[in-house]
Structure 1
Amino acid sequence: MSGRSDGPNAIHIDSKRVNPLEIWPAIDLRHGKPVRLRQGDYDRQTVFGDDPVEFALRWKELGARRLHLVDLDAARGDDPTANRDAVARIIRETGLPCQMGGGVRDDQAIDALMAIGVSRLVVGSAALKKPDWFADACDRFPGRLAAGIDARDGMVATDGWLETSSTPAIDLAKDLRGRTANIAAIIYTDIARDGMMQGPNFDGLVAMAEATDIPLVASGGVTTLDDVSRLTELGMPAAIVGRALYDGAIELPDVLRLAKDD
């Protein structure tokens, strides 16, 4: 993919995409319930019902072919098992491939989550803090571990977005790529856009995509069908869509059709 950016609203397309834009409807879990946070702030939480399985089945019925799950309790260092029953039910009752992040920091977490059927795991803080361990885990499970790179002002945020490191997000991506060829993807989230219904940071996505050949999953801020269209035109391999679906700003069938993922 190639592109050039001259400002927040000026993205120039140099290529045509061939493959569909994979859409991953998001289900964030806290205390077993489906929730959404604004900018990763646990004090700015909206609860969407009592049972996340209902949303999982709803997204499947509307055409979803895969789901993105986040364990918010484990992400901030709370009980890592609090949401596992709900996750197992989602996987069992939908039969869809599920990608999951939040608190994946050691071999025990990897083994436990793969045992309940998670197809792909997203490693965030530990990819920065333990890059050798992460690279080794990628080599042991080729194509099943993704790096979750969450950025605040271009710097990597860790520990459930509670801390901000001094490492530029692009530098981390390059470093991890140099350590292993078996990273499944980079899930790149601009925290300032997440849950704010303001559109993705297209410039940041282009810069990250140009910095590495690891498949990129755009996360945070996808709000309108125009956002989906621009991601498709940019040649992004995949995107996670969250709050906009829950608030009804966009409808999943329309997103899938525009992304050619239906």
Structure 2
Amino acid sequence: MSRARQEAPWLRWVVPAVVAVAALVGWEAVVRIYALPQYLLPGPLLVAKTLWANFGSLMGSWWYTVKITFGALGLAIVGGVLLGGLFAVSRWVELSLFPFAVVLQVTPIVAIAPLILIFIDSTTAALLLCAWIVAFFPILANTVVGLRSADARLRDLFRLYRATRWQTLVHLLVPSALPYFMAGLRVAAGLSLIGAVVAEFTAGAAGRETGLASRILEASFRTEMPKMFAALVLVSLTGIALYGLMLLLSHWLLGRWHDSERGGD
């Protein structure tokens, strides 16, 4: 049993890597065997060469997308945690405002992005707001559930020892809510990237201060499929890196004491 647990971390990385390499090799083989034209389906080697040849312009667009993503995620964390704490404290506030949060969550960002772009002059600010709307709800919902998940017996124990509200918050409510918050953060990180890309698709922005979505649109209009795939690869790698970063953060915060990261040991 202990040996299997020691091998599990290696398997979690090695197996996906082997499958990914096999998929890339198969993709390249299909393109070469059937002699598919590059405007229909470029091979991974051609995509890699195109990415290297356009590294400068794509990196500028990538950095713009990353700024929008992290900006929206930061705003979602601040707004979701503060509003979630307020909801957990006051039932009336939750009943009054939670329906509006649900409306924002269930409304497709493609439907409201044009309105946001009309009312906000700055394209960057509009994209930031769109990405924030997408990423906000998971953090809010998980924070509220986490703050209310503290064991009732522990709450009674804190009252018995006359703990202040601040002590109860720091030593009981926050540790109880942290695993839920991290789960919401992992979801929100990916959604903030999706929101940034989808909002830019809707805006149809062009020029220097634009992100990877604009590069994808430009390449599709010009049927430059290798460049389009290169931009798509950057978007995918960014999402994977975000998810990995959230996993590392979760392990750092929860690994020493919570069963979700310790494997139940």
Confirm or deny a common fold (TM above 0.5): no
Alignment TM-score, normalising by the size of structure 1: 0.22
More strand by share: 1
Alignment TM-score, normalising by the size of structure 2: 0.22
Which one has more relative contact order, counting CA pairs under 8 Å at least 6 apart?
A: 2
Greater Cα radius of gyration, structure 1 or 2: 2
